[in-house]
Structure 1
């Protein structure tokens, strides 16, 4: 199974909806909260991202923001 990582922050509705949608599609993921993990924040900034959520997977380009359409494609790629 591929690795899916979701970068989030506290009190983020888009992050919550992204995680809910991944769960709905049966996609297991690991979560990195940029407010609790300085290395995760540095990683995202180094990649050029300024907001969350960002979903990284092995089979697709990163998904920025709450994009249920792209999350659906991710579920088919797994």
Structure 2
């Protein structure tokens, strides 16, 4: 099983779409919500990102709701 992590916020429509896609395909993920955790926000910035969603699939980063890249990295 692939390790999937996603950085989100409460008001991000693309984040909601990304999580819905993962849920619909029964893909487990770890969510880091920058609206609720200043530590998650700091980590996101340390990685060099200023926007969300950012998804990390087995160490590969996906910026935004890039469905084709997500499918490719998830082997779908």
2:19 maps to what in 1? 19
Distance 1:74 1:35 in 2: 27
Shift >6 Å, 4+ stretches: none
2:36 maps to what in 1? 36
Q: Secondary structure at the match of 1:52?
A: coil
**Aligned pairs, number:** 76
Provide the TM-score with structure 2 as the length reference. 0.88
| Closer, same or farther: CA 74–25 of 1 in aligned 2, 3 Å | farther
Runs of 5+ consecutive residues of structure 2 not aligned to the other structure: none
Distance 2:2 2:60 in 1: 13
Q: What is the aligned-residue RMSD (CA, Å)?
A: 1.5
Provide the TM-score with structure 1 as the length reference. 0.86
Runs of 5+ consecutive residues of structure 1 not aligned to the other structure: none
Higher mean alpha-carbon deviation, 44-53 vs 16-25, is at 16-25
2:9 maps to what in 1? 9
